[in-house]
Amino acid sequence: MTTHTRSTTILMFGGLLALPFLAISAHAQTTNQSQFQATPETRAKVYKVARACKADIKQYCKGIEYGGGRIASCLKTNEAAISEGCRTAMIEAMVR
């Protein structure tokens, strides 16, 4: 992986970590509910990435508790080793 590609991938992973927080923040600004949920679009993106990264999560993030961006952080930490399908799904989630 070239330095440029690696930097781009790191930025994409960082952005993926921010997706749920951005959705919640936008939702918080438009409602006074005490509990916020991600939009259906954000949930669909996260689900697609989770499916594509299932084997990578099992291999590299075993024992990591779901929620709070911990799995995305784990994948970012192991970015050099994750599958191309997982990497592609994460990048596509950021682009769309």
> What is the mean pLDDT of each successive set of 10 residues along the chain, which is 96 residues long?
56 57 49 64 90 96 91 92 94 83
Q: Which range of residues forms the domain containing residue 8?
A: 3-26+39-95
Q: Is residue 32 part of a domain?
A: no
Q: Is residue 63 part of a domain?
A: yes
Question: Is residue 38 within 8 Å of residue 20, measured between CB atoms?
Answer: yes
What is the distance of C-alpha 26 from the center of its chain?
18
Q: Is residue 33 part of a domain?
A: no
Spatial separation of the C-alpha atoms in residues 64 and 82, rounded to whole Å: 16
Q: Is residue 48 part of a domain?
A: yes
Tell me what pLDDT residue 63 has.
94
Backbone angles phi, psi at 32, to 5 degrees: -110, 15
Sequence-ordered list of residues with C-beta below 8 angstroms from that of 81, at least 6 positions apart, any chain: 56, 60
Q: What is the DSSP letter of 66?
A: S
**pTM for this entry:** 0.59
Tell me what pLDDT residue 96 has.
66
Tell me what pLDDT residue 3 has.
56
Number of domains in the chain: 1
